[in-house]
Amino acid sequence: MDIRFSPHNLHLEGIDIFTQQDPNLRALTKQKLVHKSSLLDDLPQSEPGIYTITGGRQIGKTTLLKQWMVQLIKNNIPPESITYLTGELIDDHHALVRIVIDSLKQKTQYLLIDEITYISNWDKGIKYLADIGSLENVILVLTGSDLVVIKEARMRFPGRRGVSDNVDFHLFPLDFYEYVKLNNRITHNEICDLVEDRGNVLKNLINILYEEFESYLVHGGFLTAINDMAIYNRILPSTFATYSDWIRGDMLKRNKQEHNLKDLLSGIIKRIGSQITWNALSRDLTIDHPKTISDYIEILQSMDVLYIQSALLEDKLAAAPKKAKKVIFSDPFIYHATNAWLHPCQDPFEMLLRPQIESSKSCSKIVESCIVNHYQRKFPVFYIKAKGEVDIAYIDKKRFWPIEVKWTGQLRPKELKQISKYSNAKILTKNQTAGKIQGIPTEPIPLNLLRLGYFIIP
């Protein structure tokens, strides 16, 4: 093996050495809370094919691969049949082909190539290897942070992916249910009592659930921020910088202008929860061309920084292309890290994040964005704009399900004008108990998100 890759292949020296000295696995031992993604059980065990894992940077894709390597070895897969390569050390597809062929001569059956998009024309190399039959008996797992590039390249491998039902995986930040399980203030049995509404749930348990949700609004699903809070009861400035530097760095690699990025993100933060068009946005920003705004936003969405929420065509269950859109951040902490980059200060946790959470107006927008992002991971998600507005309409079982979100204050009758038209409507509120408002069922927000994860994630 090329010695450049040796630090990431210590499993060849023994499982104990690997878990103790591998740079990613060693870092886990320093964390108070260690998460094992449910994807570990979904990744291939024995079926050859070309698989992909996508997700934003700093989300834990490399650590996931290392945990999977440990799991494979514990399941009696010979260590010498597993090879890990990092795309950061491979210049182009010619070098990729040479390195992969050398690895396969060593009887590699599980080939993991991390951050494949660092390699110039990587898809040409993979296609060549597949065409000549080199990957016929190999489980090849590719990871990448650029969803668009990965998606386009997948289309070039028809008939070469293998026969598994699921060959593409997406690693998200932890959702609220996963965080509650990880933090373990609420036991598994108590979670079951909550989500299945078994009755006699203690008031103290509901209070803890709400405390957990308020914590989630601070650190989101990013494990570094979660562990900062667990260890220091605050998020370190370096953690804010790590994630904002990722956004900035990846945009600069795409030859985008930093001042345009700042201007756009500032405009989006001011308009979270509001309907916007690229034309209207261009009139308020120094970026004067709607196409430029569209390009930036689409790239940020492909990086899992933003999510574009379209209006719904109710009769077609599809996006309304001519209506305004909503643009939100993909996770509460991405919002906080971006805000910290736009407003540099010595202590972003105390000076920026905490005031945002304590402000009912800004916090309610973070809450709504959080709910939208939880649903869009599972379903197609839109909003409704007719005579009135409905915050969320997700598609399931060939129909849409409207949801209104209210974290602060009282709902005024005119705010319910649109959602009251739907028999399957629901209102998510800050109240700790379920009920009805003008005949529309209500549900506590933290409980709804807990149930969403519980019933979909095993």
Q: Is residue 388 part of a domain?
A: yes
CB 424 within 8 A of CB 418: no
Q: Is residue 67 part of a domain?
A: yes
Q: Is residue 196 part of a domain?
A: no
Are residue 255 and residue 107 in the same domain, yes or no?
no
SS3 call for 152: helix
- Per-residue pLDDT, 411: 75
Q: Is residue 401 part of a domain?
A: yes
- Per-residue pLDDT, 213: 98
Are residue 382 and residue 247 in the same domain, yes or no?
yes
- Per-residue pLDDT, 199: 64
Q: Which residue range is the domain that position 144 belongs to?
A: 3-170
> Per-residue pLDDT for the chain (458 aa), expressed as one digit of tens each?
788 999 999 999 999 999 999 999 999 998 999 999 999 999 998 899 999 999 988 899 999 999 999 999 999 999 999 999 999 999 999 999 999 999 999 889 999 999 999 999 999 999 999 999 999 999 999 999 878 777 777 777 877 777 777 889 999 999 999 999 999 999 999 999 898 876 667 788 999 999 999 999 999 999 999 999 999 999 999 999 999 999 999 999 889 999 999 999 999 999 998 999 999 999 989 998 999 999 999 999 999 999 999 999 999 999 999 999 999 999 999 999 999 999 999 999 999 999 999 999 999 999 999 999 999 999 999 999 988 899 999 999 999 999 999 998 777 777 888 999 999 999 999 999 899 999 999 999 999 999 999 986 43
Are residue 433 and residue 321 in the same domain, yes or no?
yes
Are residue 261 and residue 391 in the same domain, yes or no?
yes
Last-in-domain residue among 149, 170, 191: 170
Q: Is residue 418 part of a domain?
A: yes
Last-in-domain residue among 148, 170, 192: 170
Handedness of CA 148, 149, 153, 154 (dihedral sign): negative
Identify which of 116, 85, 115 has the alpha carbon closest to the alpha carbon of residue 1.
85
Are residue 149 and residue 264 in the same domain, yes or no?
no
- Quote the number of domains for the chain: 2
Q: Is residue 246 part of a domain?
A: yes
CA 329 → CA 209, 311, 338, 365, distances in Å? 23, 17, 9, 10
CB 241 within 8 A of CB 290: no
Q: Is residue 202 part of a domain?
A: no
Q: Is residue 190 part of a domain?
A: no
Are residue 320 and residue 449 in the same domain, yes or no?
yes
Residue 197, classified by CB atoms within 10 Å of its CB into exposed (0-12), middle (13-18) or buried (19+), is exposed
Other C-beta atoms closer than 10 Å to the C-beta of 424 total 10
List the CATH number of the domain containing 126.
3.40.50.300
Residue 428 dihedral angles phi and psi, to the nearest 5°: -100, 130
> Whole-model pTM?
0.93
SS3 call for 57: coil
Last-in-domain residue among 110, 143, 170: 170
Distance CA 376, CA 210 (A): 22
Are residue 144 and residue 252 in the same domain, yes or no?
no
